[in-house]
């Protein structure tokens, strides 16, 4: 209650300082578009990014009393969608589900990107972070990371690991596993987690370091099994799944993250309004339950928090790509 009072008082003081014309300009900047709002997702339906986007879109639509439409534009590890979103008007009619793929990994390994993750986007809010899960089909005889390593050594270059595309966090996790385990395995890229999981369940590929968000529905219905999770500590969503570090990979840690961004010309006042409403959604009990079930943690906070987070991720993965000499033409 005190925080709400402080924010209200601060807003009133700011408006008084702006004067009438300045206050009107800020009010207009904070106003939502009158028509439908699109949330662009760079992956197909059925994956983790899509699942989170639909939860947030539905709640924001109800909060605003207007349509928030999830627009799936898969391809090139979400960079095609990012390029499209960056070119849209900055009036709030188009938002983008920015992820580690579009805003950290792709800039690190794709030198020919036609957008800049910082210059061409306005950060709005961090939705959360989630581990990866090393999963396989429920019919697979492999039951541990140790057995995965043994299989890869017995069949060098033949054991298949799927990813949501070149330069995605699944791809980075595969390369990190190969390096640390000292094995050769086959990387099979897809255009998102949806088709990847379909083939994993059907036995066309053997393993993937899938995002916990995308893997969870299939784990719950018994179609896949989890062999390990990738953050240093076990997620509360999967307390019985050991980490890679617990299974003789002390240097292995990867995670995915999701946020909301707008085109660069999105007015700062509107970005703050959107941030406030997204934080309201993230605080809803049923949203928290869904996010916790997906293993999504540590979301929320200010516009500046998300902007600082993106900058730190860009720097981190640029170092990783440089040190590992990883580059993908785009």
Local confidence pLDDT in tens for the 330 residues of the chain: 433 333 334 344 444 444 544 444 454 457 899 899 999 999 889 888 999 999 999 999 999 999 999 999 998 889 999 999 999 999 999 999 999 999 999 999 888 899 999 999 999 999 999 999 999 999 999 999 999 999 999 999 999 999 988 888 898 899 889 989 999 999 999 988 889 999 999 999 999 999 898 899 999 999 999 999 999 999 998 999 999 999 999 999 999 999 999 999 999 999 999 999 999 999 999 999 999 988 899 999 999 999 999 999 999 888 877 766 666 754
Which pLDDT belongs to residue 92?
A: 96
What is the C-alpha separation between 97 and 114, in angstroms, rounded?
A: 18
| Helices (H), ranges, the chain | 2-30, 48-64, 79-86, 100, 106-109, 145-154, 169-181, 193-202, 212-220, 268-282, 285-294, 303-324
Per-residue pLDDT tens over the stretch 245-278: 999 999 999 999 999 999 999 999 999 999 999 9
Cβ neighbours around 276 below 10 Å, total: 14
DSSP bridge pairs for 97: 260
Q: Are 108 and 320 in contact (CB under 8 A)?
A: yes
Instruction: Report which of 282, 285, 303 is spatially closest to residue 127, judged by C-alpha positions.
Output: 282
Place of tokens 């059925």: 46
Q: How far is CA 235 from the centre of its chain?
A: 17
- As given in the structure block, the two tokens for residue 84 are 């499209």
DSSP string, 247-279: GT-TT---EEEEEEEEETTS-HHHHHHHHHHHH
- As given in the structure block, the two tokens for residue 168 are 């995605």
Q: Are 25 and 268 in contact (CB under 8 A)?
A: no
Print burial letters for 187-212: b (CB count within 10 Å at least 16), e (below 16): ebbbbbbbbbbebbbeeebbbbbbbb
Which pLDDT belongs to residue 166?
A: 83
Could you give the angle at which helices 169-181 and 303-324 cross, rounded to 10 degrees?
40
For the chain, what is the radius of gyration of the CA atoms? 21
Residues belonging to the chain: 330
Which pLDDT belongs to residue 4?
A: 38
Place of tokens 């899509």: 50
């Amino acid at each position: 209650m005190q925080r709400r009072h402080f924010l209200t008082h601060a807003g009133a003081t700011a408006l008084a300082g702006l004067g009438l014309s300045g206050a009107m300009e800020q009010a207009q900047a904070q106003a939502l578009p009158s028509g439908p709002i699109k949330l662009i997702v760079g992956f197909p339906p059925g994956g983790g990014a899509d699942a989170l986007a639909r939860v947030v879109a539905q709640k924001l639509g109800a909060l605003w009393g207007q349509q928030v439409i999830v627009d799936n534009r898969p391809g090139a590890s979400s960079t095609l969608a990012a390029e499209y979103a960056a070119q849209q008007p900055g009036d709030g009619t188009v938002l983008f589900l920015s992820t580690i793929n579009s805003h950290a990994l792709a800039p690190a390994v794709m030198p020919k990107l036609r957008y800049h993750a910082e210059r061409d986007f306005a950060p709005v809010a961090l939705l959360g972070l989630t581990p990866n899960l090393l999963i396989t089909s429920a019919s697979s005889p492999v039951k541990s990371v140790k057995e995965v390593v043994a299989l890869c050594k017995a069949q060098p270059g033949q054991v298949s690991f799927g990813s949501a595309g070149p330069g995605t966090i699944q791809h980075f996790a595969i390369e990190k596993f190969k390096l640390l385990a000292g094995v050769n395995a086959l990387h099979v890229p897809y255009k998102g987690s949806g088709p990847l999981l379909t083939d994993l369940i059907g036995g066309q590929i053997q393993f993937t370091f899938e995002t916990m968000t995308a893997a969870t529905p299939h784990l719950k219905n018994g179609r896949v099994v989890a062999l390990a999770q990738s953050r240093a500590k076990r997620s509360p969503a999967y307390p019985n799944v050991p980490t890679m570090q617990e299974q003789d990979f002390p240097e292995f840690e990867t995670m995915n993250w999701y946020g909301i961004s707008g085109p660069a010309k999105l007015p700062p006042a509107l970005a703050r309004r959107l941030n406030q409403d997204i934080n309201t959604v993230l605080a809803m009990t049923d949203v928290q339950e869904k996010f916790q079930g997906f293993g999504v943690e540590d979301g929320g906070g200010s516009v500046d928090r998300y902007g600082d987070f993106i900058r730190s991720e860009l720097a981190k993965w640029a170092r990783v790509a440089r040190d590992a000499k990883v580059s993908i033409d785009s």
